[in-house]
Structure 1
Amino acid sequence: MKDFVLCHAAHGVWFGVFSHFDAVGIRHGFSTRFGGVSEPPFNSLNLGVKTADQKERVVANRKRFCDAVGVAFAHVVTAQQVHGDRITIVAAADRGRGHADYTAAIAGTDALITNVPGVPLMLFFADCVPVLIADPIQKAIGVSHAGWKGTVAKIAQKTVLAMQAHFGTRPGDCLVGIGPSIGPCCYEVDRTVIDPLSQNFSEWQKLVSPRSADHWLLNLWEANRVQLLEIGVLPENIVISGICTACNTALFYSHRAEKGQTGRMGALITL
């Protein structure tokens, strides 16, 4: 069975994993709110250095999360996320960039890919969709930050294609995990989102349900799944956690549900 489960580690850290990644030895994890040192409204495992939280607490939280997953915190590579569709290839020389300092993170990037063992990739979320990608055949990994802009720009699809171009990845070999994020139950959008969505997805109407005049509920999970299917990722290899962050603010951070006064989770993957 392919599913998403929560695990418990030292210091009360809870994080989620996908069983189909574990089955092929891909170390990864999605953080929750539990097990950190931050005070409200960032309680407690806030990983976002761009929030108003104290940096020392965020760094301590990041280390706790990395320890829980079993990766070297000092080796983690992060990015300065901008809601775009730029993908960066991470080399061995990048090891550790941005792990504790935002200014050292890779600039202007919303997806990271690598085929270098021991170079963990981590991006940050609080409603946007985290997409983890693993190619167990060519030994390559990726992580994408897919908010509505990234989803409409098909960043998850582009990440797999970048892995194909640079590492020889075949989409049919990829395993994908779509982590906790705002669900179709809560993500209400207007024409600002629908207009570009309709231009990039031919069957966009299957991704939305009417809410009111010029307002819809958008299924970001399905939009990311569909774009991956388009390039040959197998449906049985895509697992969606199905957990809505806005519905579960006791466990996860939600920018929308908490009106911006909240922290960030991390999605982490390494070879």
Structure 2
Amino acid sequence: MVEAVLIDLFSLPANLQNNIQELLHNTLEAIEKCSSIHAPCVYVMCCQRQGSERKGDQEFLLPALRSFQSLKRKLEVVCAQTTAAALYAIKQRLDEKDLSIIKVILPTLRKDLMKVYIDHLFTAVYQFEFEDLQVVSDCENLQISEHQHEGQTLPSQDVALIRSEIQMYLESLPSLKGELTILRSSLIPGDIFLHGFTTRTGGISYIPTLSSCNLFSSSKRRDPQVVVKENLRRLANAAGFNPEAFHRVKVDHANAVCIMGKTEPNNYDGIVTNQKGVTLAAPGADCIPVLFADPVRRACGAAHSGWKGTLLGVSMATVNAMVSEYGCNVKDILVVLGPSVGPCCYKLPHESAKEFHRIDPKCVRLFDSASPYIDIRRATRILLERGGLLPENIQDDSITDQNQNITLCTACHPDKFYSHFRDGTNFGTQIGFISIKD
């Protein structure tokens, strides 16, 4: 069942401008007849003339809107100066109401164009169907001429213009939830490495569980890639790295490691490099983003360590890659564990807890319960120390100085961090990042 209807009157052909009221009236009448029981939300998208005192076509459209009582509460005119701005405003309204099934009624000439905008601004969470804007009139000149055939792709320069319009609009949006904040470790030398762990502030993501500096997009979440890219651009500006030389692990919850410059695996949870100016990153939204730095051999790495990756030894696998590829000495490598779910909040089924108990009984609290509390940070430290790393070269939540401890519990700090454990499936993601300075 259609949950929302979008009527695109943004760029009507010139021969329809004078009959916009009749056009809208006929379209709304058809919607009202078809949905008398469950009236969908209706959004009318139109152009706001630059420099105009009135809101574009909104006042001009009012006479056509007044007679539709059943749609009245669910009908809204959205005016903006660009299609990107209007469509993004409508997306916000859809997300506020948790609506996903949308019918788009628009002139045939706008269909391929609109599909490009939708591909960039929406994810697979949403379902769209398209319907031609029907014109009922005695005047022959009201018929919309069809110069494009269904399915014809837009020229690449038109797609590039749309991307540019979307990017410019997103760049103009204010940051949400305060300034962008980066947590840094005192263990990693700042004269050699650029590094940090992000928090959830300073981006443009507006959905509550993703707000505001979400740094991961997937087909199951409502934040599109273009929004994540804008959040990353803002982070790069604040941190001082090049977003075009940014490499994030391709999470598999295992222990494969990618060596920058060599063949890239399909999936990997660790990544290492000795190239200057290349930023490596690992995500975390309860799982640990782990950063590695060797100031002697000038190499670095990042790893994503959830409970599965921890058991599989992804952190030590990343260390071993630095040793074998760049000649690092284990005793020179510095490791920092970023914000992640703590043993205060994280539970696993008893069978999985047994594996952590084998590493060290102190990694499990209430071991005899059905769902014991697990300390994946302690397990990571123990495995690294067994691999030869010096205890003083590992920074985690065992640091007692609160000014130095950046391994905070993500689930316990909703104002600072995202948490899958706390927020459910539509959760946001923060990252740990590191690069070798030029």
Could you say which residue in structure 1 is the equivalent of 2:389? Answer: 233
Could you say which residue in structure 1 is the equivalent of 2:314? Answer: 155
Could you say which residue in structure 1 is the equivalent of 2:331? Answer: 172
RMSD across aligned positions (CA): 1.8
* Alpha-carbon distance in 1 for matches of 2:190, 2:241: 18
Please say if 1:78 is aligned against 2:248. yes
Residue aligned with 1:132, SS: strand
Q: What amino acid is aligned across from residue 46 of structure 1 in structure 2?
A: N
Could you say which residue in structure 1 is the equivalent of 2:234? Answer: 64
**CA offsets per residue over residues 44-84 of structure 1, 9 Å max, x none?**
00001223312211110011112211100011112321111
* Equivalenced residues, count: 247
Please say if 1:253 is aligned against 2:418. yes
The aligned runs of 1:20-169 (5 Å cut-off) are 20-40=187-207, 41-50=209-218, 51-91=221-261, 107-169=266-328
**CA offsets per residue over residues 190-220 of structure 1, 9 Å max, x none?**
1342243355x2xx21211106623211111
* Alpha-carbon distance in 2 for matches of 1:12, 1:192: 43
Q: What amino acid is aligned across from residue 200 of structure 2 in structure 1?
A: R
* Alpha-carbon distance in 2 for matches of 1:198, 1:213: 13
Q: What amino acid is aligned across from residue 49 of structure 1 in structure 2?
A: S
* Alpha-carbon distance in 1 for matches of 2:233, 2:223: 16
Residue aligned with 2:366, SS: strand
* Alpha-carbon distance in 2 for matches of 1:80, 1:137: 28
Structure of higher RCO (CA pairs closer than 8 Å, 6+ residues apart): 1
Could you say which residue in structure 2 is the equivalent of 1:267? Answer: 432
Unaligned runs of 5+ in 1: 1-10, 95-104
Greater fraction helix: 2
* Alpha-carbon distance in 1 for matches of 2:249, 2:349: 29
Q: Percent identity?
A: 32
Contact preservation (8 Å) 1:24, 1:136: no
Q: What amino acid is aligned across from residue 213 of structure 1 in structure 2?
A: S
Q: What amino acid is aligned across from residue 196 of structure 2 in structure 1?
A: G
* CA distance 1:76–1:16, change in 2 (3 Å): same
Contact preservation (8 Å) 2:356, 2:379: no
Taking structure 2 as the reference length, the TM-score comes to 0.54
1:12 corresponds, among 179, 196, 200, to 179
Residue aligned with 1:83, SS: coil
* Alpha-carbon distance in 2 for matches of 1:66, 1:106: 25
Runs of 4+ aligned structure 1 residues displaced above 3 Å come to 195-199
Greater fraction strand: 1
Residue aligned with 1:165, SS: helix
What is the deviation of 1:107? 2.6
What is the deviation of 1:23? 4.6
Taking structure 1 as the reference length, the TM-score comes to 0.86
What is the deviation of 1:24? 4.9
Unaligned runs of 5+ in 2: 1-177, 397-405
Q: What amino acid is aligned across from residue 370 of structure 2 in structure 1?
A: D
What is the deviation of 1:155? 0.7
Q: What amino acid is aligned across from residue 285 of structure 2 in structure 1?
A: A
Q: What amino acid is aligned across from residue 389 of structure 2 in structure 1?
A: V
Residue aligned with 1:112, SS: strand
What is the deviation of 1:256? 0.4
Larger Rg: 2
* Alpha-carbon distance in 2 for matches of 1:207, 1:198: 6
